[in-house]
Amino acid sequence: MKHISDEQLENDLAVFSPTEAIAAPDFFYTRLNARMKYENISNEVAFSVKPVLVICALTLFIFINSLLLKGGTSLVTTNSNENIEALAAAYDQTISN
């Protein structure tokens, strides 16, 4: 540990003496506190809206799916025997009934 003289210590500390304490503007903490409270309230409102939107979207999705499934599979009409025979022919196989 290096020992310094009292005179050098006084010179080093004199560097900090002209500095002034920085003060916050008037009502800074009051405005900051009000802003923080406002952000907390707006975050709570935004959080409560998100689940409602998700529930509505899922309900709409399920409703559209039920309509599509209720219509049946009439969009594609194929004979399952033809598909099986085509698959068997592709692999040089025969199907015995």
Contact (Cβ atoms closer than 8 angstroms) between residue 95 and residue 84? yes
pTM here?
A: 0.32
| Residue range 29-47, pLDDT digits in tens | 888 888 888 877 766 666 6
Contact status, residue 85 vs residue 97, Cβ threshold 8 Å:
no
51-96 pLDDT per residue, tens: 888 899 999 999 999 888 887 655 555 567 788 888 888 888 887 7
